[in-house]
Structure 1
């Protein structure tokens, strides 16, 4: 770790994640721009146009994960920067479903490369505080969504400026994180530090515990991002400005992740995941029966639920399955984003044919399944810990 400026690399990583997160909030605002009252796309068509943000993310993470070990964290980080830049420019020029699809694909690849490179970098820099520091890093996913939501609201709803100007604000964090990374030395991944072979890494991702966590990642990511990505359509009949509800949800998430350390210490990762699933289920159910000011109460319960999902799933794998390396973290993130790419058109179809409440009720099934799954995980981990201590 000689000549590596951990603080600067961590700050740059947070700015890169802010860029990633702002694309989610701004994309949510673009739903009304390209929707039936704007460009004229149906909600289902918009769902398909938005899916590359997630399967592009998935491809970038799955291919970027092993490439992190072979090419190094630095090169993958700069690939993220370039694809982010292309995606932002293309989004500004988008005027149809196909052009929006391609723009979203480049943004998704950039987002995936950020996660593929920087999750293992943080795990390798903070080997004794993985879950804690990954939660602190992922403060800036909800934090960036808050920033993006407020930017979208100010630029379009308050100032009445064009949506292209809203998208162009993404260049601000992009240029800053590029400047912070420029000229820096990067660490090698933890798998490389530990001397774990490629054969062992690839065989480790076939372990039952890893496959179980990958299945759960499908459901945790869809519960969180499937809901928040379509917030404009889901809550347009419940509140005046759905984007402010998105900012509210992600503000709670950012605060929760900032102070994740004591929660991790008390509950352990498996316990955190169980409580998260319970609150997410209750929150989604409440969103189907509330309106007006009470929507924010339901949103707060939902936010408490989804706060620790993503970083704790990654932290669990980094702590208990370290031999899976950058590939394991990338597969987890990729699985999560791929599940969202599947659920977005389904939600759009439900909203086109029925209503938002039906879509939310359907989504609530996912955390209900997770409650059962994470009860089982807690029982398994307690038995495993007793065996190891014996």
Structure 2
């Protein structure tokens, strides 16, 4: 494909076509994500999965993203956007083939492995696409990155709305396979929209900076954040769930595999150290990477479970309606970021801090709701809070670290997604299992827990192993009217409701940590004269400086 030339306004002639092609590509990811969320209860009923197992499958929908976006971000300026788009398209098709293979009656371990692998491939395709879309839009619209990146990422909630509407409309009539396969429709559309288009190069690539020069501000500090999460993924997701067939009782798998996993994580850090000539990296980018790891677990980890949790506290239909409402709020608000920045005079960092406060209030409110009206209010507040996190963080990196080209954006996106896969998704699943089990014991129903326990205990990171309820038995109890449930079934349902409420309160710890980080960054930028975008100078382009002036 040829190279597009930017005009005087900084926008290529086909800029809007490329923007909407990227929009449709991320929309396809959102559709698949929402439909998969809507099938969690079905999978629990059909295969007997625990909340942790469902969380691990959901987590795979983000972990693969990391590898797609990091690898794609590293090579995109070398091989071009077109080849990456073709690769993503083929991966999306392969994902559908693998994910739709499980059948009723299949051994639980085999079904889990297929769903986990298919979901991982799906997220690998999504990551590859964002390795194209994020730097492409940041390059096409250099004077208003926050606004256009928010528009690009409005496609995510749009896809979630479509996916949730599909499951709401046909969930009772169509099989989960028929529903999930529908994400291939927008996949075909984005392929056609990108077909034959020309693309600009990033500012760093245009200036002729090598990969090592682009990576210097990431350095050892930034690579260590990604390396730690890659280590966790290799140790836990690959080791515990694939190589050892879901052996949760031996979650760390032994010292030999742990050392191999450690070597993989350290290998990434060592590679960055070598190509950057052992550059330490910029402290601000390191802090942004940590904040984005927390952000990923909060926004997407919560999205993975919010429909299920609201559906537990209220009803499955109301949980789906609330999910659609929250996604619609997010979709609309992402088109108004330009107005917020200009009318309210909020810098990107100030916007992030404000959103953190709203997320805290929203999650605590959601944990205590007893009716649909209060739930709408809580989701309204939470949705405003979570809306601007992801694209605004990308805009901050694009503004403050232009030397890094597509690389820093891609690594940060990968960190966010790996955090969801290894921390947010499984962590909330484990929390729901644990708090549900604790409530059963506290209410004198330990025998109910023991007689309805899952085949696999629930264990996550270094937290203690807990006995989890069998997902199939729990879903059967929830499907019955209250009057038809046995005392044992009613105890199971009531305990899951209590566990869901406590899980949301536990989740609120994340935006508290983010608020602290963004507050400190606000103080920092005020001390240096305010937040402003930076440019690559001729001296930096020739390798004469470690970073743009103004740091």
Q: TM-score range by the shorter chain?
A: over 0.9
Q: Out of 341-350 and 204-213, give the one that drifted further.
A: 341-350
> Are positions 1:59 and 2:140 aligned together?
no
Query: Post-superposition shift, 1:152?
Result: 1.5
- Alignment RMSD: 1.6
Find the aligned partners of 2:207 and 2:341 in 1 and give their Cα distance. 25
Structure 2 gaps, min length 5: 6-11, 104-110, 219-280, 436-498, 532-548
SS in 1 for 2:171: helix
2:322 pairs with one of 233, 238, 245 = 245
Aligned residues: 386
SS in 2 for 1:258: coil
Find the aligned partners of 1:262 and 1:295 in 2 and give their Cα distance. 28
Query: Post-superposition shift, 1:156?
Result: 0.6
CA contact (8 A) 1:73 1:187 kept: no
CA contact (8 A) 2:358 2:384 kept: yes
> Are positions 1:385 and 2:529 aligned together?
yes
Alignment match, 2:95: 87
1:225 pairs with one of 300, 324, 345 = 300
SS in 2 for 1:204: coil
Alignment of 1:351-370 (within 5 A): 351-354=432-435, 355-370=499-514
1:118 pairs with one of 122, 127, 133 = 133
SS in 2 for 1:185: coil
1:34 pairs with one of 20, 43, 46 = 43
Structure showing greater relative contact order (alpha-carbon pairs closer than 8 Å, 6 or more residues apart): 1
Query: Post-superposition shift, 1:209?
Result: 0.5
1:173 pairs with one of 186, 189, 192 = 186
Please give the per-residue CA displacement for 1:144-186, whole angstroms capped at 9, x wherever unaligned.
Answer: 11111111211214xx211111112111101111111111112
Q: TM-score, normalised by structure 1?
A: 0.95
Alignment match, 2:420: 340
Find the aligned partners of 1:257 and 1:66 in 2 and give their Cα distance. 28
SS in 1 for 2:311: coil
CA contact (8 A) 2:313 2:500 kept: no
Closer/same/farther in 2, CA of residues 195 and 264 from structure 1, 3 Å limit: farther
Alignment of 1:294-373 (within 5 A): 294-342=374-422, 343-354=424-435, 355-373=499-517
Alignment of 1:217-296 (within 5 A): 217-240=292-315, 241=317, 242-265=319-342, 266-293=345-372, 294-296=374-376
Find the aligned partners of 2:521 and 2:431 in 1 and give their Cα distance. 32
Find the aligned partners of 1:78 and 1:111 in 2 and give their Cα distance. 12
CA contact (8 A) 1:4 1:186 kept: no
CA contact (8 A) 1:31 1:232 kept: no
Please give the per-residue CA displacement for 1:16-48, whole angstroms capped at 9, x wherever unaligned.
Answer: 01001112111111211111x232111111112
SS in 1 for 2:39: helix
Query: Post-superposition shift, 1:386?
Result: 5.3
Find the aligned partners of 2:42 and 2:401 in 1 and give their Cα distance. 43
Q: Out of 305-314 and 286-295, give the one that drifted further.
A: 286-295
Find the aligned partners of 2:207 and 2:138 in 1 and give their Cα distance. 12
Find the aligned partners of 1:317 and 1:173 in 2 and give their Cα distance. 29
Closer/same/farther in 2, CA of residues 386 and 234 from structure 1, 3 Å limit: closer
Alignment match, 1:138: 153
Find the aligned partners of 1:259 and 1:63 in 2 and give their Cα distance. 32
Find the aligned partners of 1:363 and 1:199 in 2 and give their Cα distance. 38
Query: Post-superposition shift, 1:384?
Result: 2.1
Closer/same/farther in 2, CA of residues 351 and 386 from structure 1, 3 Å limit: closer
Tell me which structure has the larger Cα radius of gyration.
2
Query: Post-superposition shift, 1:65?
Result: 0.7
Find the aligned partners of 2:113 and 2:304 in 1 and give their Cα distance. 19
Alignment match, 2:168: 153
Query: Post-superposition shift, 1:193?
Result: 1.9
Alignment of 1:5-24 (within 5 A): 5-24=14-33
Q: TM-score, normalised by structure 2?
A: 0.68
Structure 1 gaps, min length 5: none
Find the aligned partners of 1:386 and 1:249 in 2 and give their Cα distance. 33
CA contact (8 A) 2:307 2:322 kept: no
